[in-house]
């Protein structure tokens, strides 16, 4: 996935001792483990609900176990049954615990006879944290309602009762009923030619963790982009999306050349409505993507490189807990850079690496020391908070350091072996290090000490000798920014006509946090940043202009905030407004109008910003 802003959800204290295996799950996979899921669901658009049943195939680990414990959140359980080998159903007693705000409700099912399969008949809540329901007016084409899931990190439990932990992998089959004319897709092999007859079947034969369970339904068209790839999107968006992602097959082939065969059969992309809270989600066979990357010049298709890279790092080899999520995101961000370099060139790859490194350098010092570690000490932090810049950017920086020390050929050989060795497994940081020590560090002695490795993984901050890529174009931009701020270079004399998106991002990222108002106004007059259709540039520009006191941008900023529900591109503007009482009041007005079109995760994040701002006003 790419990307959740650092600490959007704050520190959520969880009862660690009660859940030693995974503090973010009630499940007890050492007692019994789910190995396969059969879903039969009906999509109820009018009531914003999924109705149906989940049948779990079980592998009993402990002969003395007497219960099956599952994760749920806001599910209405109708009945629970054991299924015999002959298909006969026997009712089982169960208890649904009171709701924990973070973890949901523990479902304990009495299973003294160790059934091979258990079936739960249930329905979801209209407020399910892992589902968003959109009216036709909230979609691009405004013709049909739309529904999509976002299960990462621990939101699958809000639409399926299961063991919602990345340590548990299962295959699945699903039958989904939908209104005729609606297309349903899932994180499984999808048939582009399937009739829109209201009945869809899916199969995911590979074992996946619960956060990769995904579903979407709406007015969705399809356009092929290669022999094993297609773009799915609303009819009015699909042609633009197919053009933007027409290099998908090249990206797949480039990654296979580096790290071995693509294991999932197809790599399709679903472009969602703008309310999707993330840049992309690496659901197997069907990446979910934000429309904010559709800028027409392919400058933001590194998002596809990132989500595709997850097919190796994250989906094939998975972190066993959210504490270890850097094994997914840090490795993936490194692989993303290698894919981008192979297809679009080293200049762009280096610029993107430098952008992320500079941003991390700026932000990491304000984080608690434990949050600065790739593998933090045990702590009471919610699963969503683990998806920080540290996991992505410090993790990838560490791998770029390894590549530099050991040489690209040796490191590629190591990484290819790592993916093969741990394929279809969920692992911890310590398992990764146990593999790295003999297969890289000791295999090539004198390149990097084990103490240096441990410092990268377990120490706070960034090692002083961490290498940075060289970017002559960024160096030139640094000089132009400085002379512009000093007043010796006029805004309209900036050599910016040929800047790509990344170069504008870099220029804006390194402006002062509160830039002089006159300088901001000069920039806008010369380069017409207000109203930009490029959301990456817009987020940065509006954040600076609001902070600098430019009231003239407020209306355009509000349009950006209302149109886009992606956390990374929206919450910085809310934070900028919330720094002053007048701005906070304006942001609350904007939110009142935008809230209905936001994903529940975006609503939660914005409301947390407001709460923090009010506390600061009235400590």
Name the active-site residue from 26, 392, 414, 598: 392
pLDDT of residue 4: 38
pLDDT of residue 21: 75
Q: What would the CATH number be for the domain defined by 25-309?
A: 2.60.40.1730
Active site residue 267: no
According to DSSP, residue 566 is labeled -
According to DSSP, residue 99 is labeled P
Q: Which residues share a beta bridge with 52?
A: 41, 122
Superfamily of 317-458 according to CATH: Neutral Protease Domain 2 (1.10.390.10)
547-590 residue pLDDT tens: 999 999 999 999 999 999 999 999 999 999 999 999 999 999 99
Active site residue 536: no
Work out the mean pLDDT of the chain and round it to a whole number: 94
Mean pLDDT of 75-89: 95
347-372 residue pLDDT tens: 999 999 999 999 999 999 999 999 99
User: Are 324 and 375 spatial neighbours (Cβ–Cβ below 8 Å)?
Assistant: yes
Cα–chain-centroid distance for residue 152? 7
Confidence of residue 610 (pLDDT cuts 50, 70, 90): very high
Confidence of residue 379 (pLDDT cuts 50, 70, 90): low
pLDDT of residue 16: 33
292-312 residue pLDDT tens: 999 998 988 899 999 999 999
Name the active-site residue from 282, 307, 351, 452: 307
Strand order in the sheet with 146-149: 131-134, 146-149, 215-218, 183-186
Q: What would the CATH number be for the domain defined by 472-617?
A: 1.25.40.320
**Token pair belonging to 59:** 């592998």
150-167 residue pLDDT tens: 999 999 999 999 999 999
pLDDT of residue 85: 87
Query: Domain boundaries in the chain?
Result: 25-309, 317-458, 472-617
186-227 residue pLDDT tens: 999 999 999 999 999 999 999 999 999 999 999 999 999 999
For residue 469, count CB atoms less than 10 angstroms from its CB and return exposed for 0-12, middle for 13-18, buried for 19 or more.
Answer: middle
528-558 residue pLDDT tens: 999 999 999 999 999 999 999 999 999 999 9
Mean pLDDT of 251-271: 97
The C-alpha atoms of residue 283 and residue 494 are separated, in whole angstroms, by: 42
468-488 residue pLDDT tens: 999 999 999 999 999 999 999
Residue 18 reports pLDDT greater than 50: no
Query: How many percent of the chain have pLDDT more than 90?
Result: 92
Residue 49 reports pLDDT greater than 60: yes
Residue 237 reports pLDDT greater than 80: yes
pLDDT of residue 2: 58
248-259 and 408-421 helices, crossing angle to 10° = 90
Residue 386 reports pLDDT greater than 90: no
Element (H, E) at 550: none
User: Are 56 and 116 spatial neighbours (Cβ–Cβ below 8 Å)?
Assistant: no
Element (H, E) at 49: strand 49-60
92-111 residue pLDDT tens: 999 999 999 999 999 999 99
The C-alpha atoms of residue 273 and residue 237 are separated, in whole angstroms, by: 10
């Amino acid at each position: 996935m790419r990307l959740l802003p650092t600490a959007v959800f704050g520190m959520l204290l969880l009862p660690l001792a009660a859940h030693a295996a995974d503090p973010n799950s009630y499940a007890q996979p050492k007692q019994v483990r789910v190995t396969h899921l059969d879903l039969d669901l009906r999509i109820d658009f009018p009531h914003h609900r999924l109705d149906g049943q989940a049948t779990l195939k079980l592998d009993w680990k402990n002969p003395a176990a007497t219960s099956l414990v599952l994760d749920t959140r806001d599910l209405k359980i109708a009945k629970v049954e054991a299924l015999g080998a002959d298909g006969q159903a026997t009712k089982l007693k169960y208890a649904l615990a009171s709701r924990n705000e973070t973890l949901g409700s523990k479902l304990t099912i009495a299973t003294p006879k160790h059934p091979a399969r258990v079936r739960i008949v249930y329905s979801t809540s209209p407020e399910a944290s892992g589902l968003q329901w959109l009216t036709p007016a909230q979609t691009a084409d405004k013709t049909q309602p739309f529904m999509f899931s976002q299960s990462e990190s621990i939101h699958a439990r809000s639409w399926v009762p299961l063991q919602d932990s990345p340590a548990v992998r299962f295959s699945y089959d699903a039958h989904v009923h939908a209104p005729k004319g609606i297309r349903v897709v899932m994180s499984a092999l999808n048939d582009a030619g399937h009739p829109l007859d209201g009945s869809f079947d899916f199969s995911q034969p590979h074992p996946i963790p619960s956060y990769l369970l995904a579903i979407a339904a709406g007015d969705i068209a399809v356009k092929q982009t290669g022999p094993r790839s297609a773009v799915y999107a609303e009819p009015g968006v699909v042609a633009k999306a197919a053009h933007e992602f027409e290099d998908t097959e090249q990206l797949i082939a480039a990654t296979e050349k580096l790290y071995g065969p693509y294991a999932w059969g197809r790599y399709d992309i679903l472009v969602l409505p703008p309310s999707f809270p993330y840049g992309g989600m690496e659901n197997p066979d069907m990446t979910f993507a934000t429309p904010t990357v559709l800028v027409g010049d392919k400058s933001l298709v590194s998002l596809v490189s990132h989500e595709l890279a997850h097919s190796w790092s994250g989906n094939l080899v998975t972190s066993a807990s959210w504490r270890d999520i850097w094994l997914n995101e840090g490795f993936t961000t490194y692989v993303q850079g290698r894919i981008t370099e192979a297809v679009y060139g080293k200049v762009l790859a280096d610029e993107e690496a430098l952008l992320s490194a500079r941003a991390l350098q700026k932000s990491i010092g304000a984080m608690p020391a434990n949050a600065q570690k790739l593998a933090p000490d045990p702590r009471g932090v919610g699963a969503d908070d683990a998806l920080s810049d540290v996991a992505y950017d410090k993790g990838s920086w560490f791998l770029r350091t390894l590549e530099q020390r050991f040489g690209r050929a040796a490191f590629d050989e190591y990484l290819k072996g790592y993916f093969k060795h741990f394929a279809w497994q969920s692992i911890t940081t310590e398992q990764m290090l146990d593999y790295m020590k003999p297969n890289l560090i000791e295999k090539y002695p004198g390149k990097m000490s084990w103490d240096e490795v441990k410092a990268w993984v377990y120490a706070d901050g960034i090692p002083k000798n961490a290498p940075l890529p060289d970017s002559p174009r960024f160096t030139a931009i640094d000089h132009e920014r400085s002379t512009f701020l000093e007043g010796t270079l006029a805004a309209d004399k900036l050599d910016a006509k040929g800047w790509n998106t990344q170069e504008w991002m870099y220029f804006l990222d390194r402006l002062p946090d509160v830039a002089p108002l006159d300088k901001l106004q000069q920039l806008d007059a010369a380069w017409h940043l207000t109203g930009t259709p490029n959301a990456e540039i817009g987020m940065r520009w509006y954040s600076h202009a609001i902070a600098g006191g430019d009231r003239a941008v407020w209306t355009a900023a509000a349009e950006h905030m209302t149109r886009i529900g992606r956390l990374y591109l929206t919450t910085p503007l809310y934070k900028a407004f919330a720094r002053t009482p007048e701005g906070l009041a304006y942001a609350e007005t904007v939110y009142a109008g935008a809230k209905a079109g936001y994903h529940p995760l975006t609503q939660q994040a914005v409301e947390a910003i407001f709460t923090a701002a009010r506390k600061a006003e009235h400590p």
